[in-house]
């Protein structure tokens, strides 16, 4: 494998558009400019057609261009292109809220707050938790506990809760009232709660950590349930990435030994068509606000608009019609088996982890050292040139395919991943480029 992996990455240069999470030298490269997306396929500006294995940004669960969802959004835009939830309601929001309560479990959950992104929803969630405890006469319960290596977003509140280093010190993010523990050691959680239990408002858990696809262990969840029983804090399931069939059930926390008090939803919520998210709270939380007739000081101009709510209702209906959750459970098992086989056979692939259609493949150099960020970026590019778009992860790649893949799509994905890994390992990435393939075809012809 070439050590000059950074040289394999396409460069272009800065322009008017501020491309997210990219250095200006990589802005608007033809290799990162997507011209079209249809079904489970992407077309790039450099001529590469690629199978999507990222579900957009993990949110296009039922494929690009779903006609029923598009039609529902179109009708809502014609009937009421914009209505606010500031001191008002509208039928589209009422229907979407009822749909989500039913889906999450009407025995437990009773109210939905709409937001515009997973980050903003996590901000709102922390406000709800602290306001709830103030209404309960316990304003000292203001600590929010998250997990190390978790990802909850990049707005100020969610950035504080995020458990990986993403410039929080640089941006002066206030983390004074947030604590983090590891997801593998129940004893660490117990020590924190034992010492600070009466000050903890909530423990927030991603069922599968968004960075690295680490599953939270059953013994950790069992300890969490026992500690909640003793100390009374709230449990929040951040299902932004894992919700809507991603792990083989509607929501990953539905398989937990403990029922959360709050669920945070986004990504698959609208199949990526509209900027939408939701915070779903228990009947107990709803009752406390109702009894006090308390106004939550939170609002977003574009939260819960008619087009967004129409997209939510239509997406859930389409997932039910297509039996997507059951299909995703089978697809996730086959994806896991395929990655296990690849890890057994390929020298660069050393381990895999995750759940359902949310997987991580760990990669290592010939000397055994984990892949660097440049190695990972070069590998993602090589796999794209081989015909599949995957997501970078820590010392590896993440595979988050649409839940409507066919068996043929999955076989194609695994083949592209293997060919991309081999090209980087052997230093032959250039042979994957479209112009190189065209030249080879002409020579062979």
Last residue of a domain, one of 295, 321, 347: 321
- Cite the DSSP H helix spans in 81-148: 91-104, 118-135
Per the listing, tokens 């809507």 go with 244
Residue 269 sits in the same domain as residue 122: yes
pLDDT at 441: 44
Domain with residue 396: its CATH number is 3.90.1150.10
> Does one domain contain both 188 and 277?
yes
pTM to 2 decimal places: 0.94
Domain boundary among 279, 300, 321: 321
Say how far apart CA 388 and CA 380 lie, in whole Å.
9
Q: Are residues 17 and 86 in the same domain?
A: no
In percent, the amount of the chain with pLDDT more than 90 equals 90
- Predicted confidence pLDDT, tens digits, the chain (445 residues): 444 455 556 666 768 999 999 999 889 899 999 999 999 999 999 999 999 999 999 999 999 999 999 999 999 999 999 999 999 999 999 999 999 999 999 999 999 999 999 999 999 999 999 999 999 999 999 999 999 999 999 999 999 999 999 999 999 999 999 999 999 989 999 999 999 989 999 999 999 998 899 999 999 999 999 999 999 999 999 999 999 999 999 999 999 999 999 999 999 999 999 999 999 999 999 999 999 999 999 999 999 999 999 999 999 999 999 999 999 999 999 999 999 999 999 999 999 999 999 999 999 999 999 999 999 999 999 999 999 999 999 999 999 999 999 999 999 999 999 999 999 999 888 888 776 554 344 334 4
- Residues 279 and 161 grouped into a single domain: yes
pLDDT at 430: 83
* Rounded Cα–Cα distance for residues 244 and 317 (Å): 12
State the Cα angle at 372 between 370 and 377, rounded to 5°.
125
363 and 240 in a single domain? The answer is no
pLDDT digits (tens, 9 = 90+) for 170-224: 999 999 999 999 999 899 999 999 999 899 999 999 999 988 999 999 999 999 9
Residues 262 and 396 in one domain: no
| Structural domain boundaries enclosing 350 | 5-62+323-444
Q: What is the number of domains present in the chain? A: 2
Question: 87 and 186: one domain?
Answer: yes
Same domain, 268 and 122: yes
DSSP state of 309: H
- Are both 154 and 244 inside the same structural domain? yes
The CATH number given to whatever domain includes residue 71 is: 3.40.640.10
Residue 235 and residue 121 share a domain: yes
| End-to-end Cα separation, the chain, in angstroms | 30
Residue finishing a domain among 277, 304, 321: 321
Question: Which residue in this structure is represented by tokens 């062979």?
Answer: 444
Q: 21 and 170 share a domain?
A: no
Cα→Cα distances 60→18, 37, 158, 294, 414, Å: 23, 11, 22, 36, 20
Considering the domain architecture, whether residues 94 and 194 belong to the same structural domain is answered as yes
């Amino acid at each position: 494998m070439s050590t000059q992996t950074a040289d394999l990455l396409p460069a272009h240069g800065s322009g008017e558009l501020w491309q997210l999470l990219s250095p200006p030298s990589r802005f608007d490269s033809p290799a990162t400019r997507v011209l079209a997306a249809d079904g489970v396929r992407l077309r790039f500006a450099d001529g590469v057609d690629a199978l999507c294995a990222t579900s957009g940004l993990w949110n296009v669960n039922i494929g690009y261009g779903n006609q029923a969802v598009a039609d529902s959004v179109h009708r809502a835009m014609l009937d009421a292109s914009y209505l606010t939830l500031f001191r008002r309601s509208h039928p589209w929001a009422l229907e979407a809220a009822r749909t989500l309560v039913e889906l999450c479990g009407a025995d437990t959950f009773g109210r939905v707050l709409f937001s515009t992104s997973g980050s903003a929803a996590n901000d709102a969630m922390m406000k709800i938790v602290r306001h709830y405890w103030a209404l309960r006469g316990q304003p000292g319960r203001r600590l929010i506990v998250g997990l190390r290596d978790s990802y909850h977003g990049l707005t100020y509140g969610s950035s504080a809760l995020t458990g990986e280093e993403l410039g929080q010190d640089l941006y002066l993010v206030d983390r004074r009232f947030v604590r983090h523990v590891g997801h593998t050691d129940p004893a660490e959680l117990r020590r924190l709660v034992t010492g600070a239990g009466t000050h903890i408002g909530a423990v927030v858990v991603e069922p599968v950590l968004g960075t690295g696809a680490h599953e939270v262990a059953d013994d950790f969840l069992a300890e969490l349930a026992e500690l909640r029983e003793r100390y009374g804090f709230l449990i929040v399931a951040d299902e932004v990435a894992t919700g809507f069939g991603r792990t083989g059930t509607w929501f990953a926390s539905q398989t937990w030994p403990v029922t959360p008090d709050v669920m945070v939803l986004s990504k698959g919520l609208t199949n990526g068509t509209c900027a939408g998210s939701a915070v779903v709270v228990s009947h107990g939380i709803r009752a406390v606000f109702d009894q006090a007739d308390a106004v939550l000081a939170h609002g977003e101009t574009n939260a819960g608009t008619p087009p967004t709510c129409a997209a939510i209702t239509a997406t859930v209906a389409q997932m039910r019609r297509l039996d997507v959750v059951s299909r995703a459970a089978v697809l996730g098992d086959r994806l896991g088996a395929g990655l296990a086989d690849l890890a057994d056979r390929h020298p660069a692939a050393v381990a895999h982890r995750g759940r359902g259609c949310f997987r991580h493949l760990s990669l290592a150099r010939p000397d055994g050292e984990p892949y660097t960020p440049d190695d990972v970026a070069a590998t993602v590019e090589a796999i794209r040139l081989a015909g599949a778009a995957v997501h970078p992860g820590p010392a590896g790649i993440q595979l988050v395919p649409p839940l409507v893949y066919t068996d043929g799509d999955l076989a194609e994905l695994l083949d592209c991943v293997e060919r991309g890994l081999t090209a980087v390992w052997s230093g032959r990435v250039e042979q994957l480029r479209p112009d190189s393939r065209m030249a080879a075809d002409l020579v062979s012809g």
